[in-house]
Amino acid sequence: MVPPRVTIREVARAAGVSVATVSKVLNDRYGVSEATAARVRAVIADLGYESSLVARSLRNQRTNVIGVLVADLEPYSAEVLKGVADVLRGTEYELVAYAAAARVGEHIGWERRHLNRLSGTLIDGAVLVTPTVTDIVASVPIVAVDPHAGRSDIPTVDADNARGGYLAGQHLLALGHRRIAMVTGRADLVSAQLREEGFRAALSDAQTACDAVEFVAGGYDPEVAAAAARALLDRPADARPTAVFAANDATALATIAVAHELGLHVPDDLSVIGFDNVPDAAMSDPGLTTIEQPIREMGRRAAMLLVERLNANEGTPPPSGVHVRLDTRLVARASTAAPAVRVSAPSSGTEAGTDQATAEQGDA
């Protein structure tokens, strides 16, 4: 059973003072002796009293709470959350994470609904992680991380996705792969589109043409990605790709799992490269080669922008339309290697003998 919330009246009773005195101590107001204030603070600590955020906002017009709003708590949003926490640690601001957990049919526009629910009385500002819309009129300052539609009039933070896709293509080509596939991301995300565009550009710029290039939809959904990977890999050796670029790490890990189920060895039979560099990438077997976007740093930059807006002088609105784009880089691990060279057996003893004789003649 959850214990009842400690009230300000209980604090006053335990400290032997009035409710008004406790209120003065909580708000650092004058009129209370240092000895009395110390006694009240000791009681507050002993009872575990916390003032209501709603009451605090009504009293001060601020809660000193920043919200991080996400559609779902998964590795990407968790890293953004860590970055925001890095910035707020040691400041006057507290942090609350709010997962939309939208019902079926409510995916688009979840950020509007939850901003309306939280802003004004519970949070002073919000970081929106991969919001579906950015044409939002909010009563509190907001910053968007990797919005679906790309840059907008609100401050945004993202990574150089096109460059990351290009690096992935370059890496596989440099290893010698010529039968390559990409398991793409969500078609409605600009960042996913840019990753594919960058990858296509790398293949187009290559001096050596590929034997086969395929693109299959993964949708950033592990189940959909696994089905797409199975369609690519459940083929004869000479008909399947030797390398796969997956649009995010979750898709890449699903591809590796399917390869293992089919008896393929990564990277001997198949090279796999992902995108994001979430913690699971380094812990997978084999370690996942990936394109790192600095997700935690994106969270830090978003928090810094938001705090700057919150601390702007009254009457001087902070600048809008601020956009921060961070670099991406290749993190090479054990899931990619040069394609295995398979030498076909000679069709007859005569041909083998001829080849051997030629070699011997050359040695002479």
| Mean of pLDDT over the chain | 84
Tokens of 156: 């945004």
pLDDT tens digit sequence for 82-136:
999 999 998 888 899 988 655 444 566 777 777 877 766 688 899 999 888 777 7
Predicted TM-score (pTM) of the model is 0.77
pLDDT tens digit sequence for 54-80:
445 444 556 788 999 998 888 999 999
CA distance linking residue 39 with residue 45, whole number of Å? 10
CA distance linking residue 280 with residue 282, whole number of Å? 6
- So what's the pLDDT on residue 73? 86
List the beta strands (DSSP E) in the chain. Answer: 65-70, 94-99, 125-129, 142-145, 156-159, 179-184, 212-217, 243-246, 271-276, 289-292, 323-326, 329-331
Residues for the chain: how many in total? 364
If you average pLDDT over residues 231-259, what whole number do you get?
Answer: 97
pLDDT tens digit sequence for 154-204:
899 999 999 999 999 999 999 999 999 999 998 888 999 999 999 999 999
